[in-house]
Structure 1
Amino acid sequence: MWERMRPPRVRGVRERAARAAAGAAPGVWQPASDLPYAGFWAQPADAAAVLGNDDVLIAGGEDGRRLPTDRSAVLTPSTGVWTSTPPLGQARRLHTVTRLVNGQVLVVGGLGAGPGAPPAGLASAELYDPGSGGWTPVGGLGEGRFSHSATALTDGRVLVAGGCTARDDHSLRTLRSAELYDPDSRRWTQVRAPMTDARFGHPAVRLADDRVLLVGGALAVGQGSYAALGHCELFHPSDATWTPTGTLATARKGHQATLLLDGGVLVTGGDMQGFRDEDWAYDPYSQWTTERYDPAAGTWSADAHMPWGRSHHRAVRLKSGAVLVLGGTDDSSLAVGFQNAVLYDPGARAWSAEFPMVEGRWAPAAVSLADGRVLVMGGLTHSGAAAPVPGEDRITATTETYTP
C-alpha cells in the first residue's frame, strides 16, 4: 500500500477529490519489454530521448546502491525489442540526455561515482549517433556539474544551467553558472551573465518564444541539508541574459514542469519540507498542489489540486493536450513507488480520479512515443526501510506503456 497518514490539520481532501472527479477519462496501462538493465533516474530532466526514427534511447543511470552505470540501450517500439548499444565513455548518474536538432543525442555531466566519494560533477559530455550506434566524446564543459538542466534551443544549441558540484569531500556547492553547446563546432561557451539564483534539480522548459523557464529546484545549505526554492527565472537566447520571473507560491524540489498546448506551464507536486504559511505547521510531505505559469504576464496562479501528493514522479503531455502524471513517492519516507497515475485536463483545469499502473515506481524515465502512447521505464520500487536488502534499494527493469 502506498498510502500514508497526513497530519489531521491538512484540510480540503474532499474538495480535492470532488474537483479531481471532473477530469479526463483514463486509458490503459500494459506491460512492455524489460530494459536490458535495471536503473533509476533521480532528476527532473529526461533520462531518455526519442530518436528521429521513433526509436527510444536510454543511457546511464544508477543502481540500488547509488552506483552509476555506463550502459545504454535502444528500443524499437514497432517490435518491442531492446538492443544494447556500446557503453558510454563514462559511467554517469544525475546527468542529462538531450536530443539535438540534427538527430544526435547529447549526454552531459553527472556523477561518476557512488556515495562515499567526493561529489565532484563531471565536466565531460558525449554524443550518440543513431547512424553508427556509438558514443563519441565532445569538448568538455567549463565547469563540472550534476543535477543540472539541459534544454535544446530552436537554433540547435543546448543550454546547460545550474546543478551541483563538490564544495569539499562531504558537502555540495550549488551553481549559478550556465554554458551553451554548439553542435556545429562541438564546443562549449560560458554564458557570461550568471543565473539569477543558484539551483539544482530544477525542471527547465523551453517556451514558445524560445525563452527557457527554470522552475524552483533546490539549494545546498549544509552537509546533507537542502532547501526548496520558489524562485524562477528566464533565459533569453537572443542576448544570453537572465531575468527573474514570477515566484511559485510553494517552494518545490522533486517536482515536474510541463509545457501546455496554450503555451503555459503546469507545475505538479514536489516537496518543500518547510512550514505552511497558514498555520506555521511543519510539512514534510510531498505536495498535491499545482501552479500554472502565464508566459505573457510572467506570473504563477494556483490551479486544481491533484488527488494526492507526490514527488519524483513524471509528467508527460499527451497529443490531446492532457497531462499524464505517473508514479512518484512521498518525500517523508521515500519508501515505495506509487502504483497510480492521474490525468489533468487543461481546459477544464481538473484532474481525473487516480488509476493503477502495472507496477509502482518512482524516479523512472518516461517519454511520449510517436503513436501517442507513453513509455515508462525502470525506477525504484522499494527504498530505505521498505527495501528487502538493507543498504540496497530495489529497482526494476520493467517497462509499461499507457494508451490514451
Structure 2
Amino acid sequence: MAPRFVRSTLLAAALVGLTPACGEKEVRPPLDLLTAACAGTQPLAGVTHLRFRVTGPGLDTPRERVSTVNWTRADVPAVPPGPERVLEVRAYVGAPDQGGRLVSLGRSMPFPVWPEGDGEDEQAVRARVLLRRIGEFVPVNLASDPSVCSLPLEARAAHTATTLPDGRVLIVGGYAPRADGTRPVSATTEVFNPRNGTFVPGRDVGARAFHTASLLPDGRVFLAGGAESFAPLALQPTSRLLDPTTDAVSELTLAAARYQHAAAVDAAGHVLLVSGRAADGGTVDTVEGFDPAAGRSVQYAFPFAYVDAALTVEQSGKIFQVVGGGDAVGARRDVVPFVFGDDDIIQLGAEADLRVPRVGATVALLGRADESPRPLVIGGFDGLDPAQGARPVGASEFLEGVVRTSDGPALMPRSNPCAVTLPDGRVVVLGGRGTALGSTYAVPWVELITPHAGAQPTVLGLPLMPQPRVWHTCSALPDGSVLVVGGVDDSTGELRSNPEALVVMPPPRD
C-alpha cells in the first residue's frame, strides 16, 4: 500500500508575499527550483514554458500560472491556507495552451499553510522543487549540487526499502554478488533522504537477505528473518523492531527461521509472516504473526506449507490474504484469508480462487483512498519450475474482497517484479524475471497502470531501465517519483550487481 506521508513543516508560517482571498491571507512562497541533473537529459533542455500549480485538500481546482522559462517569483501562484499543499512545476517545449509538449516535472514535499495568526512563529523556509525529465531513469543527484550523483553506501540485492512516514526510505540488508561467486550478506542499514538526495548510514540490524520489512502504524519497522549467510546457508532466527526516529532496536526470536517469505501489516499493526524456505531447502509450514501491542509472536495452529506465496491485506484492513504459491502438488490458485484473534491466528472459511495459478506473484493496491482501491495480483510463474515448463504470467487480476477475483489488465509476463503504488493511486511495475528455453533472466520492463472508474485500468509502457533487474526495490517518493535501488542482472549469463540508485518521474495523472 502506498505510504501516508505526514505533513511537512516546509512552509508553516512562511507568510510572505501575502495577497487577500476570501478574508484570509495567502502565501506566495519563495521557490528553489533545481533544474540540473547529474546524468541524462537536462530537465530544461529545449524547454520554453513553465506551468506552476498548487494542489491540496479542499482545492477542487489547482491554482495555476504559466510563464516562460525565464520565470520570476511573481509567476508562482499564491497558496491559500490549508493542509498538505503541494507546489508543482511542469516544463514544456512550446506553450502549454498551444500544444506544447510536457517534458519535465517536479513537486515539493507537502506543506501546511496556516491562516494568519494560527501558525507557529518560525523563520520562513524556501520551497524546493527538483525538476526531473519525465520517464527517464537517471541516477539520484544531490540537492546541494544537482550536478553530482548520489550513490548508496553499498551494493545490495534481496534487501528491503521501506518508505517512512516522513518520506525518507530505510534500506536494510541484502547481499552483494561478487565476481568470485560469493554473496556476502550485509547487516547494515542506510536511509535515503529525498529532500537532499543523500544516503546516510543507520545502525546494524543483523546480517539478513531475502527478509521482510513491515512498516507499523506508529512508524516503527519490523524486520523478520532472512538468510544471514549463503556459504553455508544459515538463517537469521531473530526479528528486529527498529524505530527510525531514535535508532532504538528491540529483538524477538521467531518460532520459525525463514527466508524468501512474505509479510503484510493490517490496520491494527499486526504483522503476518507466511511461506518461505528453511535452511534445509524445504518449505516453512508455520504461519506466524507479531502483535505489537503485546510485544510477542503468535502462531497459526496448523501447518500451512505454500512457498513463494504473495501476501496482502483486504480492503477492510483486517483480513490477510495469502495469494498463490506452490506446494508438493504444484502451483496454487488459492487465496487464503487469515485474521488475528485475541491470542492466535485464525483461517477463515471463505476463500477465492485465482484465475491463473501463480508462484512468485506480487500484489499492489491500485487506486487512491477515494477510489475504492483494490489489490491487483501481478505476475508469477504458472508452475513450480521454469526448467520443467513453468511460464511467466502476463494476465493480472483483482482481488474482490475474500470470495472472488476479476480480470485485470494484460501486462508483460514475468515473475518477482517490483510493484509500487504512487501517491496518486497508480501502480508502477519494474523488472523481475522472464524465461527463455527454460532458464530465467532479469528483465528491464517498466509499466504504469492507471485506474479508471467503471472501466478497466490502462497500461502505459515506460522506457526500459538501463539494466535489467531482479531482487531490487522500488519506493514511491513524496514528489511522485520512484526510487529504484540495487538488484542483480543475469540477463547476459553473467551475474552483475546494480550498485547505483535510479529515480524516474512518471508522467502526471492529470
Q: TM-score, normalised by structure 1?
A: 0.69
Deviation of 1:352 (Å): 1.9
**Aligned ranges 1:261-340 → 2 under 5 Å:** 261-262=315-316, 263-272=318-327, 274=328, 283=329, 285-296=330-341, 298-301=345-348, 303-319=351-367, 320-329=372-381, 330-333=383-386, 336-340=391-395
Of 365, 372, 376, which residue of structure 1 is paired with 2:418?
365
Per-residue CA shift, 1:99-127, capped at 9, x if unaligned? 11222100000011258644442101110
CA distance in 2, matches of 1:232, 1:116: 37
Deviation of 1:384 (Å): 6.5
CA contact (8 A) 1:121 1:144 kept: yes
Of 174, 188, 197, which residue of structure 2 is paired with 1:110?
174
Q: Secondary structure at the match of 2:276?
A: strand
Of 218, 222, 225, which residue of structure 2 is paired with 1:162?
225
Pair 136,264 (structure 1): closer, same or farther in 2 beyond 3 Å = same
Per-residue CA shift, 1:345-398, capped at 9, x if unaligned? 116x212246522x22221111122332221112222257346xxxxx252243
Pair 380,355 (structure 1): closer, same or farther in 2 beyond 3 Å = same
Letter in 1 for 2:384: D
Deviation of 1:324 (Å): 0.9
Structure 2's unaligned 5+ residue stretches are 1-39, 41-84, 89-104, 107-129, 141-149, 452-456, 458-510
**Aligned ranges 1:341-352 → 2 under 5 Å:** 341-346=396-401, 349-352=403-406
CA contact (8 A) 1:377 1:400 kept: no
CA distance in 2, matches of 1:199, 1:213: 13
Aligned to 1:254: 308
RMSD: 3.0
CA contact (8 A) 1:148 1:200 kept: yes
| Count of aligned pairs | 309
Q: Secondary structure at the match of 2:275?
A: strand
CA distance in 2, matches of 1:206, 1:257: 10
Pair 336,308 (structure 1): closer, same or farther in 2 beyond 3 Å = closer
Per-residue CA shift, 1:122-149, capped at 9, x if unaligned? 10111000101121111112x2011111
Pair 196,384 (structure 1): closer, same or farther in 2 beyond 3 Å = farther
CA contact (8 A) 2:263 2:272 kept: yes
Of 293, 296, 306, which residue of structure 2 is paired with 1:238?
293
Matched, 1:151 2:214: yes
- Of 144-153 and 239-248, deviating more is 239-248
Letter in 2 for 1:137: P
CA contact (8 A) 1:94 1:147 kept: yes
CA distance in 2, matches of 1:89, 1:260: 36
Q: Secondary structure at the match of 1:257?
A: strand
CA distance in 1, matches of 2:132, 2:394: 23
Identity across aligned pairs (percent)?
25
Pair 292,91 (structure 1): closer, same or farther in 2 beyond 3 Å = same
Structure 1's unaligned 5+ residue stretches are 1-35, 37-51, 57-74, 275-282, 388-392
CA contact (8 A) 2:157 2:174 kept: yes
CA contact (8 A) 1:218 1:252 kept: no
Of 448, 463, 485, which residue of structure 2 is paired with 1:400?
448
CA distance in 2, matches of 1:77, 1:257: 33
CA distance in 1, matches of 2:224, 2:326: 21
Matched, 1:184 2:245: yes
CA contact (8 A) 2:217 2:267 kept: no
Of 182, 186, 191, which residue of structure 2 is paired with 1:127?
191
Aligned to 2:204: 140
Per-residue CA shift, 1:213-261, capped at 9, x if unaligned? 112222121xxxx22223111212234321213546x412211111112
CA distance in 1, matches of 2:295, 2:351: 31
CA contact (8 A) 1:247 1:299 kept: no
Pair 133,227 (structure 1): closer, same or farther in 2 beyond 3 Å = same
Aligned to 1:280: none
CA contact (8 A) 2:394 2:410 kept: yes
CA contact (8 A) 2:321 2:336 kept: yes
Of 201, 206, 215, which residue of structure 1 is paired with 2:260?
201
Q: Secondary structure at the match of 2:438?
A: helix
Letter in 1 for 2:277: A
CA distance in 2, matches of 1:115, 1:345: 46
Aligned to 2:154: 90
CA distance in 1, matches of 2:194, 2:288: 34
Pair 155,76 (structure 1): closer, same or farther in 2 beyond 3 Å = farther
Per-residue CA shift, 1:307-365, capped at 9, x if unaligned? 12111111123342432111111322166432211122116x212246522x2222111
Of 275, 279, 287, which residue of structure 2 is paired with 1:216?
275
Letter in 2 for 1:300: Q
CA contact (8 A) 1:213 1:233 kept: yes
CA contact (8 A) 2:376 2:408 kept: no
Pair 78,323 (structure 1): closer, same or farther in 2 beyond 3 Å = farther
Matched, 1:227 2:275: no
Aligned to 2:111: none
Q: TM-score, normalised by structure 2?
A: 0.55
CA distance in 2, matches of 1:383, 1:175: 34
Aligned to 1:173: 234
